[in-house]
Structure 1
Amino acid sequence: MNKDLKYWKEAATMILAAGVRNRFESKSVKNTQTYRPSPLEPIRERNVEKPVFDYTVLLLQRSARSSFMPDAQVFPGGTVSTSDFSSEWIQMFQPFCEPPNFNLGTIRQIGKRAPIFAMDRRKLGSQIPGEVAFRICAIRETFEESGILVVKPNAPDKCLNGQGAIKLPPYDQKELSSWRPLVHENAVNFIKMCRELDCVPNIWALKEWSNWLTPTYLKTKRFDTAFFICCLQEIPFTEHDGHETVHYDWMSPPEVIEGHHSKNLYVPPPQWYELGRICRLPHLQDLQQFSQDRMVEGCERWFPICLLASDGSVILYPGDELYPEDPDCTGEKDMNLSSSKSLEQLRLEVTRLHRVELRSLYDCTLYVNIEPQCKHVHPLMMYTYPNSHL
């Protein structure tokens, strides 16, 4: 719906974190037995006790036939539909809240608000603000791809924000399974399903986390994607759809990162970066509280820029000294850079670093020493620059 981004489609994704019953016996919940992650060696080498995570995150493996990121392990999500902006939602949400805010709280972001949220959708004919519609999209797509339904029943208890990790309402799995292909076929059926189940998407459980533009160096589809995070008390029933997604994995964030570096699975850069952020918060309660408190600060829109070096490539993020001052986000201009210098030379010649160096698809190293914006945190990665801001 954003006509300013001619070559990007708007999308939403959900980082789902679910508690495990015994954090001292935190084992991956997987539907395959082929992967056994090893401990984080760099943490042992620093003589730092390895943190024990009391939660796992959901990763879905995309189909090899997918036209975008085939075989990659990603968070659930997808492209926004016009039905996510439907005025029918206003009546359905009335027992809980009213427009225009929908009880999501006020964003007090310092600096420019990410356009995906800042855009006045009324000019496009919708009474549903982007911060609501993209949450609906993330919830709908998560249901389509994994069978997990993050909704709130129309019940007397109307507590919305700040209630910690949520417990999903119990629904008959056969009934939900019958709705999934219908919703996949036509997103309007998600509205019909919520009416029949007498519930609404639990938009208050999703906390605004980040906003990524697909970089132009990827000669493929491009998305302007809103990332949300949602904390669940326990791992729910999960089932991949067999079409867009062919496997699912509930794993701790360090296990996912280690799996990527050991080439057991492939995690695209945005997911890799966000998992590194989450690694700073090994306890679900802390992750929930941090995402709740930080949400009011909003988020930046990140448009990664590629710089080809003599021995690899650099993915530049906002704040890096080599990042363009005013990058063209329309897609009209080629923003990718090149240099005859090595990755190390390019790094040592500057003082402000916010980049990932890629020597191969799986050999990626984060270098960052700038202050994070919007009261966010930088990733705690396996391979992090020794002088980075920690």
Structure 2
Amino acid sequence: MELNKDEITTPPRDAASVVLLRDTDEGLEVFLLRRASASAVLGGAYVFPGGKVDDADAEPETLSHLTRPADQLQPTLNQADLAAARAAGLYVAALREAFEEAGVLLAQWQRRTPTLQELADAAKRLNAGTALPELLVELGARLDADAIVPWSRWITPKRAAVMTKRFDTRFFVAGLPPGQHAQHDNHETDESVWLSPHRALQQYYDSQIDLAPPQIMSLAHLAQHTTVASVMAEARAKRPPLVEPQTVEATDDTRILCYPGDPAHTVAERALPGPTRLHFINKRFAPPDGQADWWRALV
């Protein structure tokens, strides 16, 4: 992963992402997708399912397929100035992206539960351009707003570390629905894997996979949990924190990303557990003391 050294002048674009989780005999696992190498955003990196908010996500017809009204969803995002329809559109975007990119539809069924093949066919049609409301009617589904819980909000800094675009991304957490199967779409993403947060970070540190800073810090946070229920309980008990990384230049080959609570950050209160800064050295992000500090941060 190459370091971006240019200042981004465009305003951040709304985006939404779902951190899909499951319980296994070995403990908590998270679903990661590898973005196609040709992608203009984080090509080759492993990410959570997600993407840009579409205008259609906040249209009244689309919002009518949510299980909760917009004015009930707006307070959950911890943004007093956010319009209710826009807030509900973020929920729709997160649920839509999980279906588009991972084939997982978090929904309540008004008739029978669709088969895996029916879900897979519907996800392909969604990727091909079929409108989401049309598919939901065919499937007899309503988007389950209670299945995803706001986890954090990340705004890409103007001096972004690894991207040339800015996003205002709301991350949600969700458990994999029983009987459904998450997989990459072979379009925007070309590989997928379930890993424990610890193992994902270890593979990143060993250069087996690429990760971006929001995924790194989110995995460090998730590594403190052992079950899906634990993650969901924490998410429901708090409002999602705002994370605006700030960049400190150290040398030509080193950049430091600081997070709220770090002495070099303008916000004194911590937003996340774990390290408050990451150093970019040898094309890898790591806390200041390297791997020893990395694992201490996860205890």
Shorter-chain TM-score: what band? 0.7 to 0.9
Matched, 1:198 2:155: no
Q: What CA deviation, in whole Å up to 9, does each residue of 1:103-159 have, x standing for no partner?
A: x8x55xxxxx85xx43343xxxxx6241x221211111111111111111137xxxx
The match for 2:80 among 118, 124, 137 is 118
Partner of 1:85: 58
Q: Which has the higher strand share?
A: 2
Instruction: Determine the C-alpha separation between the residues in 2 that align with 1:382 and 1:179.
Output: 43
Matched, 1:15 2:19: yes
Instruction: Determine the C-alpha separation between the residues in 2 that align with 1:235 and 1:307.
Output: 46
Matched, 1:358 2:280: yes
Instruction: Determine the C-alpha separation between the residues in 2 that align with 1:202 and 1:366.
Output: 41
The match for 2:47 among 71, 74, 77 is 74
Query: What's the TM-score, normalizing by structure 1?
Result: 0.65
Matched, 1:384 2:289: no
Q: Does the CA-based 8 Å contact 2:34-2:189 persist in structure 1?
A: yes
Which has the higher Rg, Structure 1 or Structure 2? 1
Partner of 2:176: 232
Matched, 1:175 2:118: yes
Q: What CA deviation, in whole Å up to 9, does each residue of 1:159-218 have, x standing for no partner?
A: xxxxxxxxxx842233323322332243x7111111221211111111111111122233
The match for 1:60 among 30, 33, 39 is 33
The Cα shift of 1:230 comes to 0.6
Q: What CA deviation, in whole Å up to 9, does each residue of 1:259-280 have, x standing for no partner?
A: 0001100111100100000111
Partner of 2:157: 215
Instruction: Determine the C-alpha separation between the residues in 2 that align with 1:315 and 1:290.
Output: 25
Partner of 1:309: 250
Partner of 1:329: none
Query: What's the TM-score, normalizing by structure 2?
Result: 0.83
Aligned runs of 1:280-319 on 2, under 5 Å?
Answer: 280-294=224-238, 298-310=239-251, 312-319=254-261
Instruction: Determine the C-alpha separation between the residues in 1 that align with 2:101 and 2:38.
Output: 15
Amino acid at match of 1:85: A
Instruction: Determine the C-alpha separation between the residues in 2 that align with 1:255 and 1:287.
Output: 18
Partner of 1:133: 89
Matched, 1:101 2:72: yes
Structure 1 residues 98 and 267: alpha-carbon distance in aligned structure 2, compared to 1, 3 A threshold: closer
Structure 1 residues 90 and 314: alpha-carbon distance in aligned structure 2, compared to 1, 3 A threshold: closer
Amino acid at match of 1:309: A
Deviates more, 1:79-88 or 1:227-236: 227-236
Matched, 1:145 2:113: no
Partner of 2:270: none
CA RMSD of aligned residues (A): 2.9
The Cα shift of 1:248 comes to 0.6
Matched, 1:263 2:207: yes
Aligned length: 282
The Cα shift of 1:389 comes to 11
The gaps in structure 2 that reach 5 residues or longer are 1-8, 268-274
The match for 1:154 among 110, 115, 125 is 110
Instruction: Determine the C-alpha separation between the residues in 2 that align with 1:288 and 1:138.
Output: 16
Structure 1 residues 389 and 185: alpha-carbon distance in aligned structure 2, compared to 1, 3 A threshold: closer
SS for the counterpart of 1:101 is helix
The Cα shift of 1:236 comes to 3.1
The Cα shift of 1:63 comes to 0.4
Instruction: Determine the C-alpha separation between the residues in 1 that align with 2:63 and 2:244.
Output: 33
Q: What CA deviation, in whole Å up to 9, does each residue of 1:339-373 have, x standing for no partner?
A: xxxxxxxxxxxxxx821122222251168xxxxxx
Structure 1 residues 175 and 293: alpha-carbon distance in aligned structure 2, compared to 1, 3 A threshold: same
Instruction: Determine the C-alpha separation between the residues in 1 that align with 2:72 and 2:212.
Output: 33
Q: Identity percentage over the alignment?
A: 23
Q: Does the CA-based 8 Å contact 1:366-1:383 persist in structure 2?
A: no
Partner of 1:33: none
The Cα shift of 1:91 comes to 3.8
Instruction: Determine the C-alpha separation between the residues in 1 that align with 2:64 and 2:121.
Output: 25
Q: Does the CA-based 8 Å contact 1:19-1:234 persist in structure 2?
A: no
Instruction: Determine the C-alpha separation between the residues in 2 that align with 1:265 and 1:388.
Output: 20
Q: Does the CA-based 8 Å contact 1:76-1:141 persist in structure 2?
A: yes
Instruction: Determine the C-alpha separation between the residues in 1 that align with 2:297 and 2:183.
Output: 39
